[in-house]
Structure 1
Amino acid sequence: MKNVWTIFRTDMLHIRSSVIALIIAIGLILMPSFYAWFNIYANWDPYDSTGDMKVAVANSDKGYQGDLLPAKVNMGDQVSNALRANDSLDWTFVNEDKAKSGVESGEYYAAIVIPEDFSTDLFSLLNEGTADSGKTDKTKARQAQLVYYSNPKKNPIGSTVTDQGASTVRQQISDTLTSSVAQTAAGTLDSVASYLDTDQSARSISALSANLRRQSADLSDAADLASSYAGLADSAASLLDASGKSMERTKRSLQSSTVDMDGITGKLGDASTSIDRVNANMADGLDSAANAFDNVGDNAEEALGKPAAGSANTAAALRAISTNRIRPMIASLTQYRNTLVSIRETLHTEPAKAAIDRAIADVDRTLKRLNATDTKINDAADQAEAKGQAINDSGKDIAAQAQASAQSIRDLNKSYQDNVVATLSGVTDSAKRTGTDAKALVDETTSALADVTGRTDGSGSAGALTNIKELTANIDTAHDTLLEQSKKLGETADKLDEAMASGGVEEVRKLLSQPTDTIALAMTTPVTTKRIAVYPIANNGSAMTPFYTLLAIWVGAMFLSIILKANVSDRISAALDRPRPWQLYLGRGLTFVAFSLAQTTVLGLGDLLYLRAQATDPLLFMLCLWWSSLVSSMLVYTLAAVFNTVGKAICAALMVSQIAGIGGTFPVEMLPGVFRQLYPYLPFSHGITALREAVGGFYGNVYWEQMGRMGIYLVVALLIGFTLYTPVTRAMAKTSTLISSTMAMN
């Protein structure tokens, strides 16, 4: 090792003995620091100095005025005023032509042009456009556009900064519009809050709840009414069907007078409202049944007056009258009675129930007479079969009974009008006081009923029956819908009462009592981002310190390989005691390492003490720099010493590839694929990772792992130096001689 130290001491003495050499040595030590410091300081906080970058703004907006927004609004002027108060860029306000020419000449980094129809397009949702056909078209909403001109040729980073400025303008416009709408909405909420502060609000809510419950009850009554009318319509249809069959039977068998079914059908179309039509249908049904019973008596008396030879036919005719005409009427009146019973169950007042009870009693008396008539006809038929002769006395008795039954049926019509119609009309009047939904549904039912009764156009009782069935189906639908709406109103009233009981109104009052600006801000910016830096770094300069500091170390090592001689001269070798090749290699290597460590010490202390770059642990920061300096200087020296000129070229290529491939300025993932593949194998990548740990903060053993990986390159350099120094140096000597012979290259 004596020869190694002799070479190192001799090199230092020779440099110190020459003033020029000493100046060059000092320059070698300081040069990497100046390179790093200038770059770090230049990147210390560049985005804080964008206020001097000129960006032209040309406002050609003519404004907007429409029916929904009668006051003229010029968003271009508002944007310009907002930019005048913004100092992030040097906004220069010119006309459109000067803005464009200024970007082309390089006077401005960029230009933002607000077109003349900017406000019109911005408020197009509030405006009625005109389609190509000349007709009003409300659907042509247009997106307002800003025209942005940039000049990347002037400066690529400047173009990126001005792009951000254009985004700021766009965001400013969006915030202005949203804020205006939010302020208006917040003002409305403030009015609501003021109202909630008064006692009148509680009384109004209570009154609203009571009204809702009352309307719910009215809708429920209307539903019950609809169901009742459906039953009445079914009874009317049954009576019409029974009386129609009776008239048809009279026409075919006894050839007597027929009942005018067209008249019945005509009566169905005379009603002015849907309820009147149902009532008319019922009255017509009862009248038809009474007329049919008038004919029943005549037909029975005629059949009983036939000679004895026709007794068998007389009995058959009598039974046919009972089966086909009287019993269907009994069934129809029974159905009518059941309907009245159902109506009574839905009523809530005693007078109304008493009226329906009277109607039921009238029906019972009529049914009793019809059953008595039916019994007498069947008894007469039995006598005719037994005696084999006509029974004139029975015929007169039956005729009288039939006339009494017919009159009883006619009395039912008056009973229906006096008791049933009068009672249900009272419920109808209550139903008319319900809300809009109930009215719409009743109107729909009325229209359906009018359509049904209006279509009885002389087609006989069959057409009337078909229409009445459709009427019944529509009334059933109305019943279901009314019940549903009644339930919804009841639920709404329950929720209002619950809110009042639980203090919900008080909660709303507290919410709306906040300042209008606060509510508007919450509406315009419902979501904000809370930025938490896991490893906070004070400024951009500190963040760039690892890259530029390590790069300066490698640059310093490259300068050393150019200025210092990589091989020991023959004169120095002659003064040594039988030097070996590895001693010569290490001796000059110590000189390289000493200069590199001196460069790094000045560089690192300048970063910490002069620039005040951030360092979580200054000692580990310096240790990483020294270790990187040792690795880089030995690697560069070994390549230059072993491979001479070719080795220096390899060092230059290695440094260039590391600058592009280590992700110093851009993330590695943004680099081309070839650099991403090289990244793990470059010594610079491990050094910068370790140094970033010392600057921003440590995670696990990342720092020491990266330091250990850098040591691999030191081992590789020493292996190359110890094994190849002598044989390769001799071979490269011939190459160096050939290069020197060109008289132009060294």
Structure 2
Amino acid sequence: MFSLPWLELSRFKRHTITRLAMIVIAIIPAIYGGLYLASNWNPTDHLDKLQAAVVNEDVGAEKPDSDGETLHAGDELVDEITPKGEGGFDWTETSQEEADKGLSEGKYFAILEIPKDFSQALVSTGGDDPERAGLQLRTDDAHNFIVGQVAGTVLNEINSGLNKTTTSEYVNEVYLGFNDIHAETKKAADGAAELHDGSVELHDGTGQLVDGTTELDKGVGTLRTGLGDLDDGAGELKKGSGDLADGADTLAKSTTEAKNGSSELADGAGQVADGTSELRDVADETTDKAEDLKRKADDLVDGARPKLERAEGDFDDARTTVRGDMDDRIKQLQKDYPDDENVQRLADDMNGLGEDLDSAHTRASDAKDEAKRLEGPVTDAVDSVMEKIRAADKKVGQLDDGAQKVSTGADDLHSGLLKLDAGAGKLATGADDLHSGAVELKDGTAKAKDGADDLKDGSSQLVDGSTELDKGAGKLVDGSEELADGLEKGLEQIPTYDKNDRDHRSDVVAVPVDAEKSKDNAVDAYGEGLAAFFVSLALWIGGMITYMVLNAIPYRALASSAKSSRIAWAGYVPGLLFGVAQVAVLYLVLTFALDFSAGAWLWTLLFSVLIAANFHAIHQLCVAALGGVGRLIALVLLMIQIASAGGTYPVETAPGIFQIISPFLPMSHAVNGLRTLIAGGDMFIAGQSAVVLLLMTLIALAATVVVCSRKRMVTLTQLHPSLSL
């Protein structure tokens, strides 16, 4: 069974070039597949080797409501992408002129242009007229079309990052605004609670005010009654002081007359004896008048002083009431109601009344002190006069006993009458002063009485005003309580967010949908994703190379008695062995040179061997049946399969004709099964592909057997072919 295949292979041992040909057949697929996969293994990870320019013309902008804080988004974007590899490309910040020149010359593969109003547009999202911030990315397809597509992806990533950051900052400010609203509402709620507490205290105070003003009104009534009594007493004092003044004037006149008489007595001492009877009559009359004057003086002294003391006490009590308790209450009212005109007017009236009472008290006190001061001298003077009058009367009575003593007694009488006259003058002056003070006291008490009437009217108005104020304070208590309750309920509805919560919510709102891409049976690199296609291409090329060097069938055996199946097998086995060698060398290169890995290594190798077996069977059939034309057909099949195998893009994206023929081409199933095994996918799909490839292999081998049978007969066309390749 293997003698003919071994015979076909043994001829390659004869020469060095044939041995080298065997090596070339084994390594060509590895070179082809390795080079293509190496060049496309992971291009997206090396975008940082592509130079790109960034032109930043942004001038910055002031953030709204930030106390002068500015945003330089252009500078921030440049700082973010210019570190090598951070922004997709190797970005270099340049001027617009240099960037345009570099793009046209191919130095830069892309230009990112940041406009002047970039920051202004970003901060406008927090203002009244929001605008979109624009970025422009320019590429030149004349240098590389794919770079333009990749640059679009890079721009989308930059744009998405900026949108997320901008939206996150804006939403963060919104959530921060909720905190401010909550804080201000909390202050308002606290203020409303304090207002309620204050209104309760105010209501209590107005209640006390009503009680106090009522008591004040009663006290003012009592004061008015007392001032009426005081005014009556002042009237009596005025009348009594008038009588005292008249009596003192009479006394003064009498003492003057007595003084003049005593002078004449002294001068006419010699005539005493002759006028003794007349002198006794005068002395008796003088004694009677003096006694009467003494009684009146005693009555005046005894009556005036208690009344003056009582008047002083009444004025002092009234002044104490007004200046003490009433003044304190008025001051409290002024403190509680500094803007109330009635309270201010009441305070002014009370102040005027206090000043009037102070003046009246002073005058009453002065009158009392003056009366008290004069009480002793007047009494002493009157007593002294009376004693002298009595002595004079006694002496007149004794005139008959000693005329010699008349001159001395007359002198004594004259001296005493001089003192009496001086004392009587002082008494008259004091009585006049007392009368004047009593008149002023009467005027003061009249004014005080009038002031008390006004005070009574004011206190009555104060009672009415405080009552209305108490009612208003009650309404304020109810209103402030409703306000405080409403603000507390509203405060519960206003959320607050700490920094972590704001950051989380801002990120969620900025990117509400987290579109995360996941891959089932993911491969490690872009090259591994293309490996199924390029391995299939490499093995197809390997099959073509194999049957360029090997004979599709041992043609000499056609003239022998060997069966056609054996002849076909003899041509297929060497190719199959080279196919296995191609698979081994190819995967060794991929594994150690490109760090290739497969999800199911054993099945991947076995399936790759099946692919090589199928491709070699097809190439054997083409060459055996058509010779050089068969190789051309194999090349055409390669081109058709590249277009319809779905090696790079799914075959569903290709035109309809390729979708129709794809299931009938071996490379489609080779790519499909090999891709599944490399990624570690569904083994059932790989099994289906293996079955199809096995059937195609058997069909190709069967067709080759038929070709061998027909090759045993040589035709004229075969002897003289029209085309030889």
Q: TM-score range by the shorter chain?
A: 0.5 to 0.7
Partner of 1:27: 24
Give 1:16 deviation, angstroms: 1.3
Partner of 2:139: 150
Q: Deviations over 1:356-399 (max 9, x none)?
A: xxxxxxxxxxxxxxxxxxxxxxxxxxxxxxxxxxxxxxxxxxxx
Separation in 2, partners of 1:144, 1:182: 17
1:83 to 75, 81, 84: 81
Separation in 2, partners of 1:735, 1:153: 52
Q: Secondary structure at the match of 2:108?
A: coil
Q: Are the aligned partners of 2:53 and 2:99 in contact in 1 as well (CA < 8 Å)?
A: yes
Q: Secondary structure at the match of 1:701?
A: helix
Q: Secondary structure at the match of 1:49?
A: helix
Q: Secondary structure at the match of 1:112?
A: strand
Superposition pairs of residues 366-381 of structure 1, within 5 angstroms: none
Q: Look up the equivalent residue of 1:154 and give its one-letter code.
A: H
Partner of 1:691: 674
Q: Are the aligned partners of 1:110 and 1:148 in contact in 2 as well (CA < 8 Å)?
A: yes
Partner of 2:49: 52
Separation in 2, partners of 1:109, 1:74: 26
Separation in 2, partners of 1:594, 1:158: 43
Partner of 1:542: 528
Q: Deviations over 1:214-245 (max 9, x none)?
A: 9xxxxxxxxxxxxxxxxxxxxxxxxxxxxxxx
Q: Deviations over 1:201-221 (max 9, x none)?
A: 89849949999xx9xxxxxxx
Give 1:79 deviation, angstroms: 2.0
Give 1:18 deviation, angstroms: 1.2
Q: Deviations over 1:543-570 (max 9, x none)?
A: 2222221221111001122232324244
Q: Look up the equivalent residue of 2:143 and give its one-letter code.
A: K
Separation in 1, partners of 2:61, 2:681: 58
Partner of 2:4: 7
Q: Look up the equivalent residue of 2:38 and give its one-letter code.
A: Y
Separation in 2, partners of 1:581, 1:525: 71
Separation in 2, partners of 1:195, 1:663: 65
Q: Which has the higher contact order (CA 8 A, sep 6+)?
A: 2
Partner of 2:92: 92
Q: 1:518 to 1:724 in 2, by over 3 A?
A: same
1:622 to 595, 600, 605: 605
Q: Deviations over 1:609-644 (max 9, x none)?
A: 654422222111111011111111001111110122
Separation in 2, partners of 1:187, 1:491: 23
Separation in 1, partners of 2:43, 2:26: 28
Which has the higher Rg, Structure 1 or Structure 2?
Answer: 2
Partner of 1:168: 157
Q: 1:530 to 1:63 in 2, by over 3 A?
A: closer
Q: Are the aligned partners of 2:673 and 2:689 in contact in 1 as well (CA < 8 Å)?
A: yes
Partner of 2:34: 37
Aligned length: 452
Give 1:19 deviation, angstroms: 0.8
Q: 1:532 to 1:204 in 2, by over 3 A?
A: farther
Partner of 2:568: 585
Identical residues among aligned pairs (%) = 20
- Most deviating of 149-158 and 618-627: 149-158
Separation in 2, partners of 1:493, 1:730: 109
Q: Are the aligned partners of 1:638 and 1:721 in contact in 2 as well (CA < 8 Å)?
A: yes
Q: Are the aligned partners of 1:621 and 1:695 in contact in 2 as well (CA < 8 Å)?
A: yes
Partner of 1:636: 619
TM-score (norm 1): 0.53
Question: Within the alignment, does 1:671 sit opposite 2:654 as a pair?
Answer: yes
Give 1:14 deviation, angstroms: 0.8
Q: 1:77 to 1:730 in 2, by over 3 A?
A: farther
Q: Secondary structure at the match of 2:562?
A: coil
Q: Are the aligned partners of 2:40 and 2:526 in contact in 1 as well (CA < 8 Å)?
A: yes
Q: Look up the equivalent residue of 1:542 and give its one-letter code.
A: E
Q: Look up the equivalent residue of 2:685 and give its one-letter code.
A: V
For structure 2, the 5+ residue unaligned runs are 201-467
Q: 1:490 to 1:737 in 2, by over 3 A?
A: farther
Q: 1:628 to 1:598 in 2, by over 3 A?
A: same
Q: Deviations over 1:410-441 (max 9, x none)?
A: xxxxxxxxxxxxx9xx99x9699979xxxxxx
Partner of 2:550: 564
Q: 1:588 to 1:91 in 2, by over 3 A?
A: same
Q: 1:514 to 1:736 in 2, by over 3 A?
A: farther
Q: 1:514 to 1:560 in 2, by over 3 A?
A: same
Q: 1:15 to 1:192 in 2, by over 3 A?
A: farther
Separation in 2, partners of 1:698, 1:205: 69
Give 1:691 deviation, angstroms: 1.7
Q: Look up the equivalent residue of 2:27 and give its one-letter code.
A: L
Separation in 1, partners of 2:139, 2:625: 52
Q: Secondary structure at the match of 1:85?
A: coil
Q: Look up the equivalent residue of 1:93 and give its one-letter code.
A: E
Separation in 2, partners of 1:26, 1:112: 51
Superposition pairs of residues 135-146 of structure 1, within 5 angstroms: 142-146=131-135
Q: 1:116 to 1:634 in 2, by over 3 A?
A: same
Give 1:36 deviation, angstroms: 1.5
Partner of 1:260: none
Q: Look up the equivalent residue of 2:40 and give its one-letter code.
A: N
Give 1:718 deviation, angstroms: 2.2
Q: 1:209 to 1:620 in 2, by over 3 A?
A: farther
Separation in 1, partners of 2:18, 2:655: 44
Q: Are the aligned partners of 2:8 and 2:570 in contact in 1 as well (CA < 8 Å)?
A: no
Question: Within the alignment, does 1:682 sit opposite 2:665 as a pair?
Answer: yes
Q: Are the aligned partners of 2:57 and 2:116 in contact in 1 as well (CA < 8 Å)?
A: yes
Question: Within the alignment, does 1:109 sit opposite 2:71 as a pair?
Answer: no
1:714 to 684, 697, 700: 697
Partner of 2:464: none
Q: Are the aligned partners of 1:150 and 1:159 in contact in 2 as well (CA < 8 Å)?
A: yes
For structure 1, the 5+ residue unaligned runs are 128-137, 215-422, 436-485
Question: Within the alignment, does 1:704 sit opposite 2:687 as a pair?
Answer: yes
Separation in 1, partners of 2:689, 2:558: 38
Give the alignment's Cα RMSD to 1 decimal: 4.2
TM-score (norm 2): 0.54
Q: Deviations over 1:684-741 (max 9, x none)?
A: 121222222222224262221221111221122123222233437868872684445x
Give 1:144 deviation, angstroms: 3.1
Separation in 1, partners of 2:490, 2:58: 51
Q: 1:104 to 1:110 in 2, by over 3 A?
A: same
Superposition pairs of residues 193-232 of structure 1, within 5 angstroms: 204=190, 207=193
Q: Look up the equivalent residue of 2:151 and give its one-letter code.
A: T
Separation in 1, partners of 2:518, 2:605: 28
Partner of 2:585: 602
Q: Are the aligned partners of 2:523 and 2:679 in contact in 1 as well (CA < 8 Å)?
A: yes
Superposition pairs of residues 647-658 of structure 1, within 5 angstroms: 647-658=630-641
Give 1:112 deviation, angstroms: 1.5
Q: Are the aligned partners of 2:164 and 2:507 in contact in 1 as well (CA < 8 Å)?
A: no
Q: Are the aligned partners of 1:61 and 1:116 in contact in 2 as well (CA < 8 Å)?
A: yes
Q: 1:618 to 1:209 in 2, by over 3 A?
A: farther
Separation in 2, partners of 1:170, 1:724: 64
Superposition pairs of residues 188-267 of structure 1, within 5 angstroms: 204=190, 207=193
Q: Are the aligned partners of 1:642 and 1:724 in contact in 2 as well (CA < 8 Å)?
A: yes
Q: Look up the equivalent residue of 2:519 and give its one-letter code.
A: A
Partner of 2:441: none
Separation in 2, partners of 1:104, 1:558: 44
Q: 1:6 to 1:573 in 2, by over 3 A?
A: farther
Question: Within the alignment, does 1:724 sit opposite 2:707 as a pair?
Answer: yes
